[in-house]
Amino acid sequence: MSITLGDLAERHGCLVRGDASIRVARVATLTEAGPDSITFLANPAYRKYLPDTRAAAVILSSSDADLCRTTALIADNPYLIYARVAAELNPAPGFRPGVSADASVDPGARVAASAWVGPGSVVERDAVIGEGSFIGPACVLGRGAVVGRDCRLVSRVTLCQGVDVGDRCVIHPGAVIGADGFGIARDGEKWVKVPQLGSVRIGQDVEIGANTTVDRGAIEDTIIGPGVKLDNQIQIGHNVNIGEHTVIAGCVGISGSTTVGRRCMIAGATGIGGHIEIADDVVLLAASVVTSSIPEAGVYGSALMHDDARKWRRNSARFRQLDDMAKKLKALERRLVAMESDTEKRDD
Amino acid sequence: MSITLGDLAERHGCLVRGDASIRVARVATLTEAGPDSITFLANPAYRKYLPDTRAAAVILSSSDADLCRTTALIADNPYLIYARVAAELNPAPGFRPGVSADASVDPGARVAASAWVGPGSVVERDAVIGEGSFIGPACVLGRGAVVGRDCRLVSRVTLCQGVDVGDRCVIHPGAVIGADGFGIARDGEKWVKVPQLGSVRIGQDVEIGANTTVDRGAIEDTIIGPGVKLDNQIQIGHNVNIGEHTVIAGCVGISGSTTVGRRCMIAGATGIGGHIEIADDVVLLAASVVTSSIPEAGVYGSALMHDDARKWRRNSARFRQLDDMAKKLKALERRLVAMESDTEKRDD
Amino acid sequence: MSITLGDLAERHGCLVRGDASIRVARVATLTEAGPDSITFLANPAYRKYLPDTRAAAVILSSSDADLCRTTALIADNPYLIYARVAAELNPAPGFRPGVSADASVDPGARVAASAWVGPGSVVERDAVIGEGSFIGPACVLGRGAVVGRDCRLVSRVTLCQGVDVGDRCVIHPGAVIGADGFGIARDGEKWVKVPQLGSVRIGQDVEIGANTTVDRGAIEDTIIGPGVKLDNQIQIGHNVNIGEHTVIAGCVGISGSTTVGRRCMIAGATGIGGHIEIADDVVLLAASVVTSSIPEAGVYGSALMHDDARKWRRNSARFRQLDDMAKKLKALERRLVAMESDTEKRDD
């Protein structure tokens, strides 16, 4: 498949600078692109590679266009246009609908005629799979789990009983949606399990990464809003509510009953405590720890950055004296003020 | 199913304040409860919802009873009583014993007559499944793995060869028990695998969360004591020993050969180094880092909390100067003392 | 099976001190070893157990030999020799080649005659499994995935389409290799998926732990170099490149497009940001956070260690005042200098 730059520009709302009849067949990076490729420049760190690219065309912003010696597609948001061009040049593979002979589908489940259930997958009673949805190999859909239209469960995904997944969701291998939340009540030195009776509701256009876990609610449901994107290895506790279009990078953990606003961006390895509220449009930097509510939009962080181990050891040992240091500093200040006033008096 | 408050009070050792003949059919939150519901108040943060609840009854402590306008179940530990009432109103679904036609069970495995093995599950030679245990879909029980009585492996659980799981354990999807520990020996610039010859022994009444991993021992066994509760996405290294009734929240990692005492409470995202000992009754706050032994019970923490990014950036840059600051502070103190004594002399 | 110490010494290049004809049948720890066992001393912390061991022989360095009352195998690197002796005494179980009747193998896949595909596993079109490789139960090999010779996918491993695994790799349960990277482009308040068109290439002799995830590249491939060892619960982002013989402990996350050098050692729970470069021979201590490149070999850290919660609370509260403290300290210094010069003048 190849497409002219003119067609791409028209469909994706950008301008061609140069020969619009040039055809491109694939996407590539600036450094690896050849004469059949279209590439893009979005991260300024890669601007240095622009002059020497052998690509047929580059998608970039008008401010970078002067550096570009090839045909250019000028766009306000080059990365977005790249995403769309790449999707156009690499359409998702189609599939033949049906149920694999090696799947185990309960007679009481409903699988849409245009859906697919792969080998090794298990679909329990009352589960529903919507039109055009693809259930890859070795997935488990518990009793009454609902998958909307045009979803893609890649492989080895578990939806526990009653979990509801909206249209056009993508869920990657190893993800577990709707396992019991961590609800335990103390009984002397023992712990008693608190039944986890809620479920998980996932909005439309959500993507959930590999080995990510989203727990079912204790009484009410855990909610993942429409358009939310979750990376790999994330843990979402019971009764968490994540607002629409929030994106969360890998290895983040969010404890139970916490609400995260809309359009938040949470960087990798961040930990968020339970029973708190994060406002809309909050940005959390990598490896932050948040244990109290954040009532206002803004950028927040808490991690210390790496240092040479000897320096780090000295500084972190001093951290344990920080309160003492602060008190000493205050005492010193007082004594200095006393001396200063003493000197002034003396001067009088 | 519905139950009278009188019956509940009698069975669970609490007092009814109001009409003991009222029947409840389900549990609900304070805000969502309707006239057929029983709810509870345990977290003081939710006390504000108590006056307006439409529940038939509220489980609460005597100190909160005055605020309650509905029938009340007065309990010393309302959350515990809630857990028991919720379990009574929502009994675990029964199952028909047997082996799914879509399971793969080695003839040399022993499956108790009252147990169930779900579709897609694989049970290898010499594995043993005890009476009343439920092995959900797509689980793998390696050669010689043993599951006690009345266990529940929800789905997609792996027990590697020889792993031993006690009675009444619950293991959630994606958990991997008994994979090789991370044992490697340096050989020049290469690394040589150290055979992992131990196994994992899991006590009675243990719960293990989704996508949690517990490694097998290098020589002796990794041990998870009775009554331990592990949340999701936890990593337990080889030869770790976790004492009974210890509870560990999500995303915690514990390195090899570490011993954790009994009745510890380890909050989410905590990291614990290898070859150390944590005493009984230790509480670790969220996102703590522990790399040396903790010989005494108590509460410990290490994480820094989120701050506005500009402030955080300034403060964390200063952290790298902390040892210098401490030295300057000391020097300043010396100079001030010198001046003070100088001034005193002068005054003499 | 039992082996004489003389044979072991000869094969593994160490010296016997004592009776070389003694036979050992198994490995054990210093404290648990009996008269048929060989043990080892590598960690100085366990030296205290050496005098009382009941082992037939101990592998140790010449510097520890004096403390040893039993027959000794003297080695420069006792842990390495232990690894080899343990492997010799505990050879990996063989397997009968073939394809389980309960596996689902596409006719267009190629499975070597000496390989095994276990029950519940799914091998898609154009996948290739090399000679001597063992694909355990419930694995998924996507279209065109390639597994080299003598590999072992223990169970429940997913290789997504086109992933290439070198010879002699071991991959543990729950690992997901080649899921889509976290590529999203902003479109107003929404996010658009960026197609992930690269793959993952894994070198020879790599080991990948349970529930670890390695994402496929966005355009080019994610690369795991030969001899790399990854522990459990690790997340490797798209287009990461990990140099040969680097070892990474559990719960580490590495964001996209980052390059990690050769022979690095990365301790548990470390987080590494995206688009940075880590030099060869870098050691990162436990729970480090790295968000800028490390151009030189060395040891680096950033974590704060646990402290009594009351002290920790005071010190971490002071951390938020650290920049203020530094400024006050500077101001104080200036004032003190002023007073000192003032006093000097006065003394003149």
- Amino acid symbol at C335: R
pLDDT reading at B174 higher than 70:
yes
Residue B101 in contact with partner chain C when CB distance is under 8 A = no
The CA-atom distances, in angstroms, between B191 and each of B63, C164, C169, C227 are: 62, 22, 13, 7
The nearest CA of chain A is from the CA of B79 a distance in Å of 6
Answer yes or no: do C192 and A309 touch at CB < 8 A: no
Three-state secondary structure readout of B44-76 = HHHHHHCCCCCCCEEEECHHHHHHCCCEEEECC
- Given pLDDT bands bounded at 50, 70 and 90, which one contains residue A347? low
- Given pLDDT bands bounded at 50, 70 and 90, which one contains residue A235? very high
- The string of DSSP letters for B234-288 reads -EE-TT-EE-TT-EE-TT-EE-TT-EE-TT-EE-TT-EE-SS-EE-TTEEE-TT-
Which of A156, A184, A342 lies nearest to residue B343, judging by beta carbons?
A342
Which is higher by pLDDT, C222 or B345? Answer: C222
The catalytic residues of B are 238
Q: CB C220: neighbour CB atoms within 10 A?
A: 18
ipTM value greater than 0.85: yes
Return the CATH fold of B98-300: UDP N-Acetylglucosamine Acyltransferase; domain 1 (2.160.10)
Q: Which of A102, A104, A125, A196 to mutate to test the interface with B (most CBs of B within 10 A)?
A: A104
Smallest CA–CA distance from B278 into chain C, residue:
C306
A223 forms beta bridges with: A201, A241
Cα–Cα nearest to A236, from B231, B171, B254? B231
Residue C185 in contact with partner chain B when CB distance is under 8 A = no
Where is B290: in which H helix or E strand? strand B289-290
Both tokens of C299, joined, read 């040891």
Cα–Cα nearest to B231, from B302, B148, B171, B163? B171
Answer yes or no: do B309 and A318 touch at CB < 8 A: no
Q: Which residues on chain C are in Cβ contact (under 8 Å) with B211?
A: 174, 211
Phi, psi at B307, each rounded to 5°: -145, 160
Residue B215 half-sphere exposure toward CB, CA atoms < 13 A: 32
Residue A233 in contact with partner chain C when CB distance is under 8 A = yes
The catalytic residues of A are 238
Smallest CA–CA distance from C168 into chain B, residue:
B193
- For residues A4 and A12, give the distance between their C-alpha atoms in angstroms, rounded to a whole number: 12
pTM (2 decimals)?
0.97
CB A258 within 8 A of CB A276: yes
Cα–Cα nearest to A125, from B97, B95, B88? B95
CB C189 within 8 A of CB C208: no
pLDDT of residue B6: 97
Cα–Cα nearest to C241, from C214, C266, C268? C214
Residue B292 in contact with partner chain C when CB distance is under 8 A = yes
The separation between the first and the last C-alpha atoms of chain A, rounded to the nearest angstrom, is 92
Q: Which residues on chain B are in Cβ contact (under 8 Å) with A104?
A: 100, 102, 119-120, 137
Smallest CA–CA distance from C101 into chain A, residue:
A102
The separation between the first and the last C-alpha atoms of chain C, rounded to the nearest angstrom, is 92
Q: Which residues on chain C are in Cβ contact (under 8 Å) with A245?
A: 189-191
- How much of chain B exceeds pLDDT 90, in percent? 95
- For residues C211 and C202, give the distance between their C-alpha atoms in angstroms, rounded to a whole number: 17
pLDDT of residue C339: 84
Domain B3-89 has CATH 3.40.1390.10: yes
Q: Which of C139, C220, C281, C318 to mutate to test the interface with A (most CBs of A within 10 A)?
A: C318
**CB contact residues (below 8 A), chain A span 40-79, against chain C:** 43, 45, 77, 79
- Amino acid symbol at A197: L
> What is the sign, positive or negative, of the torsion defined by CA atoms of C111, C116, C119, C122?
negative
Per residue of chain C (348 residues), give pLDDT as tens: 799 999 999 999 999 999 999 999 999 999 999 999 999 999 999 999 999 999 999 999 999 999 999 999 999 999 999 999 999 999 988 999 999 999 999 999 999 999 999 999 999 999 999 999 999 999 999 999 999 999 999 999 999 999 999 999 999 999 999 999 999 999 999 999 999 999 999 999 999 999 999 999 999 999 999 999 999 999 999 999 999 999 999 999 999 999 999 999 999 999 999 999 999 999 999 999 999 999 999 999 999 999 999 999 999 999 999 999 999 999 999 999 888 888 777 766
**CB contact residues (below 8 A), chain C span 248-277, against chain A:** 251, 253, 255, 271, 273, 275
- For residues A223 and A24, give the distance between their C-alpha atoms in angstroms, rounded to a whole number: 42
Strand B71-74 versus strand B57-60 pairing type: parallel
pLDDT of residue C183: 98
- For residues C31 and C188, give the distance between their C-alpha atoms in angstroms, rounded to a whole number: 64
Strand extents, DSSP E, A231-346: 235-236, 241-242, 247-248, 253-254, 259-260, 265-266, 271-272, 277-278, 282-284, 289-290, 298-301, 307-308
The CA-atom distances, in angstroms, between C204 and each of A319, C131, C227 are: 44, 14, 6
- For residues A286 and A269, give the distance between their C-alpha atoms in angstroms, rounded to a whole number: 6
pLDDT reading at A250 higher than 80:
yes
Q: Which residues on chain A are in Cβ contact (under 8 Å) with C311?
A: 320, 323
Q: Which residues on chain A are in Cβ contact (under 8 Å) with C275?
A: 43, 45
Q: Which residues on chain C are in Cβ contact (under 8 Å) with A332?
A: 332
Residue A299 in contact with partner chain C when CB distance is under 8 A = no
What is the pLDDT of chain A when averaged over all its residues? 96
If you search the block for the tokens 């005493």, which residue do you land on?
B279
- Given pLDDT bands bounded at 50, 70 and 90, which one contains residue B347? low
Cα–Cα nearest to C198, from B229, A336, A28? A28
Smallest CA–CA distance from C301 into chain B, residue:
B320
Contacts of A177 (CB under 8 A, 6+ apart): A157, A158, A159, A160, A163, A165, A171, A200, A202, A208, A213, A214
Domain borders along chain A are 3-89, 98-300, 311-347
pLDDT of residue C347: 67
Q: Which of A32, A212, A231 to mutate to test the interface with C (most CBs of C within 10 A)?
A: A231
* Mean pLDDT, residues B268-275 taken together: 98
pLDDT reading at A348 higher than 70:
no
pLDDT of residue B348: 64
- Given pLDDT bands bounded at 50, 70 and 90, which one contains residue B25? very high
Residue C291 in contact with partner chain A when CB distance is under 8 A = yes
Strand A71-74 versus strand A15-17 pairing type: antiparallel
Cα–Cα nearest to A6, from A17, A21, A24? A21
Residue A297 in contact with partner chain C when CB distance is under 8 A = no
**CB contact residues (below 8 A), chain B span 187-216, against chain C:** 187, 189-195, 197, 211, 213, 215
Burial of B21 from C-beta contacts in 10 A (0-12 / 13-18 / 19+): exposed
Q: Which residues on chain C are in Cβ contact (under 8 Å) with A82?
A: 185, 194
Phi, psi at B120, each rounded to 5°: 80, -5
Q: CB C60: neighbour CB atoms within 10 A?
A: 26
